[in-house]
Each structure stands twice: as structure tokens, then as C-alpha cells.
Chains A and B, each alone.
Chain A
Amino acid sequence: MTQLMPALRLEGIVKTFPGVKALDQVSFTVMPGEVHALMGENGAGKSTLMKVLGGLYQPDEGSIFVGENAVSMSNPIDAKKKGIVFIHQELSLAEELSVAENVYLGELPQKSFGRVDWEALYKKTDDILARLKVRFKADTRVADLSIANQQMVEIARALTVDAKAVIFDEPTASLTDAEKRVLFDVIEDLKSQGVGIVYISHRMEEIFKMTDRVSVLRDGQYQGTLLTAETTEENITQMMIGRKLDLSRAIVEHDLGEIAIEVKNLSCGSSYKDVSFHVRCGEVLGFYGLVGAGRTEIAETLFGLRQPSSGSILLDGKEIHIRSPAIAIKEGISLVPEDRKSQGLVLGMNCRDNMTLPQVTDMTAGPFVSDGAEIALFDLYRDRLDIRTPGWQQAVGNLSGGNQQKIVIGKWLSMHPRVLIVDEPTRGIDVGSKSEIHKLIRELAATGYAIIVISSEMPEILHVSDRIVAMYSGEIIQTFSSEEVTEDKLIQAISGIKPKNTEISSAPA
């Protein structure tokens, strides 16, 4: 056996942010012609590591080697020049330009007087496309390609340099099964050409199908590397979770009431299909799954932002048609959206105006808005939710994330809804406020609200939910009660592995 030089080698990478050690002594090695999976929960440090490789962060300690050379990157373009190329989940292509222009964007071959050398451009691009065995030509307009083929353009971009290591970040997130097979073929090809590949994915089946070795990160620490052929899903899952989590709830159990909202066989285009579930008064139903699994789309349907293609929604046993958010609000369904700043708050307005936004129409004295009624309402919910702000006049953009989220929650509570949907309740919120929000959700359930919580964070979903729905690419794989759920069951379900016995524990009573 010959001693091969690794394509990419990381040694003792440390990256600290104020208060957090995001990466702690991370080392791993990718050989040429190897597909190396990198796994870890959200927040385990994968994306920080990628940013270090891409030169967006400089490591505090440790070194990176490409081949035998120690390198340091100042930005992704620099990284590409040094042989490390990224294929991101999200495409960044100029859609109106041709494939060739996109592949060589920023480095178009030139003739005299700055004229583009189209002949050379198309020739070079077609050579790369031939390597990828794709059917489209260099002069095709990118907008005319399918998503999968657009991803091929991204990959072609990577091949304009002599790439030593190509990093795929959740490459299959938006691909169909057939498109995935094409992608996997390309990865096999790259592999046979001696490129080292880092493959980041949450999907176990892909990991076992595609990769040679698996490295696991947890809480910024390198947990070890396994040969994929010699390990099992349980092993990997165990390494990813590791710690024992505090699953105790902050609140005493209470009796559940009637079914508040029930969804039957709801489908919406390609976003999700045949989804059924129900939530009782006083119950928190958690939705867990990967980004793009269809959770947010279900929430948007219940709130009237999307129309289902089939199926029905029943509120208190009566079928309702939610054609717009205004109707959802009138029926008593509220949504705390995923992205607080772009979907939940009007950042240029003050705290009070944000809180009263949906009901200011009803708070008038004569033709004018009644200041007194508004302030009274704001004060009530400021005290009830313990919102810390110097006063109602404060621009909402100046508050901390936790307090902003409380404003959004207060906005809906003040309307006395029946059903409260909270999408990513604590995204971008510090740890202290997180537990406050969790406690608040449990308390609201105890007072009789029917609550749906969507989260990508496992500890959170385990902490707040009475039952948990696990979703994978638009389908509900399984519904767990809080007694039966475990972390590895949940991870397997959201990776698309169906339970062995198909008994679903959530048939409405």
C-alpha cells in the first residue's frame, strides 16, 4: 500500500467567539478519492468549520493543509485558488446569463481591449460539462435549467480550478430522487479523478450510500471518525447526541381539553403531502424535521399564506377555509413566524405600534387611534410577558431578540387566539431568554391554548412538546408521545427512516 498525501487535512482547529468555544481542537483528514461525511446536530460547529475553510473566519489555533502545503484563506475565492471549493445548498447563479458566463464569472477569458473571448469561454466550459456528463451546452441560459442542472453549473464552477477538495453542503436538499442519482454519479466521477470530497448531510441513507468515512462533531468538538461500512445509524446517532439532556419540564402536567384544530389529509403541491394531525386545547404539538421538510409550509397553510391543494382543516370540529391571514386571525389562528425581523415585526415602528398592529382597527375613538387604549394594552402584555424595554416609544429594532420575540407573541396573545403557531420560537435568542420563552409556551398551554411549535433544535422540541411530529421531505414519518420519544428515534425519523412497526400513536381519540 502506498502512502498517499491527504487532499485536505485539518489539525487542531480552535475558534472561539465571546462566551462560546465554537470549535475545539477539530482535526480530520480527507484522502484523495474519498467521500468523507461530516455530521453533527445543528449548532455542533459544522458551519463554523466551513467558514474557517472558506476563509470567512480565521482559526485561533491549528492549521489547514491542502496536499502538503499549509494554507490560510482570506475569502472563498482565495480558498478556491488554493484548491478548496464549496458547493452550497443555496445556489448563487446569475440566472439571465449563460452557463459559460456563470462558470467563469469574474474570470472570463479575454482578448485584446477587454473583449470577451467567447470561443475560448464556450470551449473551456464545454470541456468541463463533458467531464460532468451533463446534457446542456455552455451557451444555455441558466434560468432555463432545472434546479438539479443549476447545481451542476455550481459544480462546474468548482472544476475551473484544479480542486483538491470539494465540499458539498446539504447538496440534495432541493433535489428529486432522479436528480439525486445524477448528482451522486458526478460525485463518484470526481472521486475517481482523485478529488477529496467532504459531504455534509443530515440524511442517513445518503451517508451510507455515498460516503467512505464519517466524522462527527458535537458541541464544537471532534468526536471521531468511523468507516461507514463498519458502522450503523445507531452508532453515528449516539456520537452526535452523546450527552444526556435535561428533559424535565418546567411545569406541572395538566389535563388536555377538546381537539381545537384538526388537519385531515392535507397536501400542498410539492411542499408536503397527505398530512394529518390534531392539537387539543392545552396541548403543545411539536414539529421536528430538517429545513425544507415542509413544516413551515404547513404553518403557512394554517395561517392562510398558502392554499392547500387537497385535504381539510377543522377548527372545533367545523371545516374552515383559510384564504388569507386576515381570515385566519378572525378564526383565532395566529402565527409567530420563523423570521422575526422580516416576517414578524415592522422594525421601523415602536414597541406599542407593533404589538397593536393586527387590532389597531378596533382601537379607535372617532376617526383617530386611541392612544390610551393602545398604551393600556401594551402595558398589560409587557407586564404579563415581562418584556424589558425602556418604554413603548422604543423602536422595536433596538430590543434584544428575546424581547422582540415576546412582542410578537404578545401581539397575538392580546387577540386571544384559539391556536398559536410558533415557528422557530428561539432562533437567534440567547440562552437565558430561550428558557423563558420555553416556560412561557408551557404556561400558555396550561391556560388552554392549543399550540403548535416548529423547531430545528432537538432539545427545544423535546423540552416543550407534549407530542412530536417527525417530518421528512413533506411527509409525516411518525408521531411520538413524550413518553416514548428518544433522541435517536427522532433523528432516525427525520432522516427518513420509517418505524419498523407502522403503528401510529396519535390516532385522534
Chain B
Amino acid sequence: MNSINVKRHLSSSAIWIFIVFELIFFSVVGSFLSITDSAFMDTSNMLLLLKQSAPIGIIAVGMTLIMVNGNIDLSVGAVFAIAGIILLDSMSWAVFSGLGDWVIPVSWALALTAGALLGALNGLIVWKTGVDAFIVTLGSMLGYRGLVFMFNGENPTSNLNWTLVDFAEAQFLGFHTATWFLAMTVLVVWLITRYTVHGRNAYAIGNNREAAVNAGIRVGPHMLINFTIIGFLAALSAVVFYSESGSVNPNDGQLYELWVITAVVLGGTKLAGGSGSIIGTLGGVLAIQLLRKGLGYIGADTSTVNLAIGLILIVVLYIDRQINVKGAQELKV
């Protein structure tokens, strides 16, 4: 019994051990190899890292909920781009011209609503057709991306509002606006998974759908809620990011779904559903960002970074599998 608990703790904190390892490694190796003078674990560097984790991180939190529920959402990158376009374009609409800077909350609300609706559409299709979420969101990934290109062709959509940029670049208690949004998202969704009926049922459905149905749980509505949440969060991620950058390229957000899923899986969530935690996902997000930044710091180029992340993903999951298989055997005795 005891060793099972030890293993469970080991497997849930594995990602944090890995993060500590990364920090030490890059600090030590960096002191020999780095081209810059500043230390890797410099405060401003770390604060920047948290800020840069936000776009993927906010979506990954939603993806955890989706994957715990036993689904997957490949359309998040496209929803991200659509929400960005709506945010920036709506600020210049004639109807809002009298609002002054009050256009900002209106545009935010529009973008977030659009994201939630696109997510809900995914959820509704998964629920009502019974088609696998992988297929449904593969379709909507292509379809939503099509909408992005229909809007402005290959051209970027730009709108710089300096009030908005100031807000996005602000630091409160040292942390950037984006970091605060990430923190709030983590907190709220963590509360949902941990303490609400919806969170409880989402785990139950992902863990054993048949038993959940036999307990009278209606599977469809829970899926719809989760897809709405992830749509909303993909839009939130876009809103936070584009408030600062002010320009959406129609290719933006591509491959986000894969980075997000990588982070979630690194954080210990099972692809099969029913197991995973928001805090683990946060660890996965930070680990990837650290790796990117760290490898850059010691002079590796982007292609090396991708190769390293790919390898690490497989190694981590292999270790996880070893731990879990051994645990399962012990239970049988």
C-alpha cells in the first residue's frame, strides 16, 4: 500500500523534478556555454518565461479538462487565430467608433464569446453525432482555419491600440498581465476539476464511461461544457497575446494543438482519459518553455529544440508507463 502511494507521488511530481533538473542543468552548463553575461535563473528572465508560457498554458489548462473527460480538441489553434482577428478587427468597426477606449472590453467580450461558441459547436457535434472528438475537431481545425483565410486572405489583420498595449505590458507585483491571466485560469479550472460536480463527473466519464452512464450521469452535456470552456480559453489566450502584439497573421496558432497536447501529456494526463491534473499540466507547460529558453540560452537553434522536446516526450512517457505498469501488477496480488 505504502509503495503504491510513493509511486503515485513520484509519478505526479515527476514533471516538477524534471523542471528542477532543467533549471540546474541550464544554469551550470549555461555558465560555460552562454553567449550572454546574465545568469539563466535571472529574475527578469524567469518572469519573462512565465509570460511566454501563458498563450500555450491557458489553452493547455482547458485541454486537460477535455482530455480528462476522454476527448481531444485539435481545433484550438484555429480558434486562437479567429479570436485574435475578431479582437483586433472589431476595434475599428464603425458601430463602436463612439466608444473611445471603452471599445476594448467590448472587443474582448466579442472575441471570448466567439471562442466559446466555436468550442460549443465542436461539443454539440461530438455529443449529437457520437463521432469521435478527434475526427470532429480535425474537421473543425481545417474548417475554422478556412474561415481565418476567408477573412483577409494571406494578409495580416492589425490594429494597435496603445491603451491596450500598455495594459498587456503592465506588471503587477512583478508579474506580467499574461502571467496573471494564466494564474487565474489555472486557479479557476483547478477549482472546477477538484471541487465541482461537473469536474467530478468529467473524471468519472473519462475513467469509465459505462459506469458513469450506469450512475445516471448524462455524458453529452458535460462534454458540451468542456468544449465550451476550451473554446473560451483558446480565445482568452488569443486576447491576452494579441492585445500586446496587435497583429494576427493568418497562420498564427498553427501547431498550437500539438504543443498544447504535448504539455498536457508531459504533465501526466492520460490520452485515454480519466486521469490528469491541472497542476501537472502547468508543470508540463513550464517544462517545455524552460527547455526552449534554456536550449536557446546555451546556443542551440530551433530545430535542435524541437528534436530535444520530441525525445524527452517519449522518454518521459516511457518512464511513466514503467511506473504505472508495475503499480498495476501490484494491485492484482
Contact string against A for B residues 196-214, beta-carbon threshold 8 Å, 1 for contact and 0 otherwise: 1100110110011011111
Interface residues of B: mostly helix, strand, loop or mixed?
helix
For window 182-208 of B, CB contacts with A under 8 Å fall at: 191, 195-197, 200-201, 203-204, 207-208
Minimum Cβ distance to chain A for residue B35 (Å):
48
- Would you call A113 an interface residue if the criterion is a C-beta within 8 Å of the partner chain's C-beta atoms? no
Selected from A329, A348, A363, the residue in CB contact (under 8 A) with B274 is A348
- Would you call B275 an interface residue if the criterion is a C-beta within 8 Å of the partner chain's C-beta atoms? yes
Minimum Cβ distance to chain A for residue B251 (Å):
39
Count of chain B residues near A, Cβ 8 A: 24
Tell me whether A349 and B203 are in contact in the complex, defined as CB-CB below 8 angstroms, given that A361-B197, A369-B195 are known contacts: yes
Minimum Cβ distance to chain A for residue B329 (Å):
13
Residues from chain A with Cβ under 8 Å of B215 in the complex: 325, 329, 357-358, 411
Tell me whether A398 and B331 are in contact in the complex, defined as CB-CB below 8 angstroms, given that A346-B204, A346-B208 are known contacts: yes
Q: How far is the CA of A357 from the CA of B205 in the complex (A)?
A: 11
Q: Are the C-beta atoms of A335 and B214 separated by less than 8 Å?
A: yes
Q: Are the C-beta atoms of B204 and A349 separated by less than 8 Å?
A: yes
Tell me whether A344 and B214 are in contact in the complex, defined as CB-CB below 8 angstroms, given that A349-B203, A368-B191, A398-B331 are known contacts: yes
- Would you call B321 an interface residue if the criterion is a C-beta within 8 Å of the partner chain's C-beta atoms? no
Contact string against A for B residues 142-160, beta-carbon threshold 8 Å, 1 for contact and 0 otherwise: 0000000000000000000
- Would you call B307 an interface residue if the criterion is a C-beta within 8 Å of the partner chain's C-beta atoms? no
Tell me whether A344 and B331 are in contact in the complex, defined as CB-CB below 8 angstroms, given that A326-B218, A357-B217 are known contacts: no
* Count of CB-CB pairs between chains A and B under 8 Å: 78
- Would you call A397 an interface residue if the criterion is a C-beta within 8 Å of the partner chain's C-beta atoms? yes
Q: How far is the CA of A357 from the CA of B207 in the complex (A)?
A: 13
**Nearest residue in B to A330 (C-beta to C-beta)?**
B216
Selected from A326, A346, A360, the residue in CB contact (under 8 A) with B211 is A346
- B196, B208, B331 interface centre (most CB from chain A within 10 Å): B208
Minimum Cβ distance to chain B for residue A341 (Å):
8
- Would you call B173 an interface residue if the criterion is a C-beta within 8 Å of the partner chain's C-beta atoms? no
Residues from chain B with Cβ under 8 Å of A413 in the complex: none
Q: How far is the CA of A275 from the CA of B197 in the complex (A)?
A: 39
Q: Are the C-beta atoms of A325 and B216 separated by less than 8 Å?
A: yes
Residues from chain B with Cβ under 8 Å of A337 in the complex: 214
Q: Are the C-beta atoms of A346 and B212 separated by less than 8 Å?
A: yes
Q: Are the C-beta atoms of A360 and B195 separated by less than 8 Å?
A: no
Contact string against B for A residues 145-183, beta-carbon threshold 8 Å, 1 for contact and 0 otherwise: 000000000000000000000000000000000000000
For window 339-374 of A, CB contacts with B under 8 Å fall at: 342-349, 353, 357-358, 360-361, 363-364, 367-369
Residues from chain B with Cβ under 8 Å of A349 in the complex: 203-204, 207
Q: How far is the CA of A279 from the CA of B26 in the complex (A)?
A: 72
Q: How far is the CA of A324 from the CA of B215 in the complex (A)?
A: 11
Minimum Cβ distance to chain A for residue B210 (Å):
5
**Nearest residue in A to B208 (C-beta to C-beta)?**
A346
Q: How far is the CA of A360 from the CA of B202 in the complex (A)?
A: 12
Q: How far is the CA of A77 from the CA of B208 in the complex (A)?
A: 34
- Would you call B6 an interface residue if the criterion is a C-beta within 8 Å of the partner chain's C-beta atoms? no
Residues from chain A with Cβ under 8 Å of B274 in the complex: 346, 348
Q: How far is the CA of A354 from the CA of B211 in the complex (A)?
A: 10
Q: Are the C-beta atoms of A343 and B200 separated by less than 8 Å?
A: no
Minimum Cβ distance to chain B for residue A406 (Å):
16
Q: How far is the CA of A354 from the CA of B101 in the complex (A)?
A: 51
Q: How far is the CA of A411 from the CA of B214 in the complex (A)?
A: 11
**Nearest residue in A to B213 (C-beta to C-beta)?**
A325
Q: Are the C-beta atoms of B331 and A397 separated by less than 8 Å?
A: yes
Residues from chain A with Cβ under 8 Å of B211 in the complex: 342-346, 357
Tell me whether A357 and B212 are in contact in the complex, defined as CB-CB below 8 angstroms, given that A348-B203, A348-B275, A349-B204 are known contacts: yes
- Would you call B325 an interface residue if the criterion is a C-beta within 8 Å of the partner chain's C-beta atoms? no
Q: How far is the CA of A398 from the CA of B214 in the complex (A)?
A: 21
Q: How far is the CA of A358 from the CA of B218 in the complex (A)?
A: 10
Residues from chain B with Cβ under 8 Å of A360 in the complex: 197, 200-201
Q: How far is the CA of A343 from the CA of B214 in the complex (A)?
A: 7
- Would you call B95 an interface residue if the criterion is a C-beta within 8 Å of the partner chain's C-beta atoms? no
Q: Are the C-beta atoms of B204 and A357 separated by less than 8 Å?
A: yes
- Would you call B311 an interface residue if the criterion is a C-beta within 8 Å of the partner chain's C-beta atoms? no
**Nearest residue in A to B218 (C-beta to C-beta)?**
A326
Residues from chain A with Cβ under 8 Å of B191 in the complex: 368
Q: How far is the CA of A360 from the CA of B198 in the complex (A)?
A: 10
- Would you call B94 an interface residue if the criterion is a C-beta within 8 Å of the partner chain's C-beta atoms? no
Q: How far is the CA of A364 from the CA of B331 in the complex (A)?
A: 33
Q: How far is the CA of A353 from the CA of B216 in the complex (A)?
A: 14
- Would you call B99 an interface residue if the criterion is a C-beta within 8 Å of the partner chain's C-beta atoms? no
- Would you call B1 an interface residue if the criterion is a C-beta within 8 Å of the partner chain's C-beta atoms? yes
Q: How far is the CA of A364 from the CA of B200 in the complex (A)?
A: 12
**Nearest residue in A to B209 (C-beta to C-beta)?**
A346
Q: Are the C-beta atoms of A342 and B200 separated by less than 8 Å?
A: no
Contact string against B for A residues 313-337, beta-carbon threshold 8 Å, 1 for contact and 0 otherwise: 0000000000011101110000101
Q: Are the C-beta atoms of B210 and A343 separated by less than 8 Å?
A: yes
Q: How far is the CA of A136 from the CA of B328 in the complex (A)?
A: 45
Q: How far is the CA of A325 from the CA of B214 in the complex (A)?
A: 6
17 A-B pairs besides A358-B215, A398-B331 with CB distance below 8 A are A324-B216, A324-B218, A325-B213, A326-B216, A326-B218, A329-B215, A344-B214, A345-B208, A346-B203, A346-B207, A346-B274, A349-B203, A353-B204, A357-B204, A360-B201, A368-B191, A368-B196
A-B complex: 9 closest residue pairs judged by Cβ atoms: A329-B216, A368-B195, A326-B216, A358-B215, A348-B207, A357-B215, A346-B207, A346-B208, A346-B204
Chain B residues at the A interface, C-beta cutoff of 8 Å: 1, 4, 191, 195-197, 200-201, 203-204, 207-208, 210-218, 274-275, 331
Chain A residues at the B interface, C-beta cutoff of 8 Å: 303, 305, 324-326, 328-330, 335, 337, 342-349, 353, 357-358, 360-361, 363-364, 367-369, 390, 397-398, 411
Q: What are 28 A-B contacts with C-beta separation under 8 Å? A: A303-B214, A305-B213, A305-B214, A324-B216, A325-B214, A335-B214, A342-B208, A342-B211, A343-B214, A346-B204, A346-B211, A346-B212, A346-B274, A347-B208, A348-B203, A353-B200, A357-B211, A357-B212, A357-B217, A358-B215, A358-B216, A360-B201, A361-B197, A367-B195, A367-B196, A368-B196, A369-B197, A411-B215
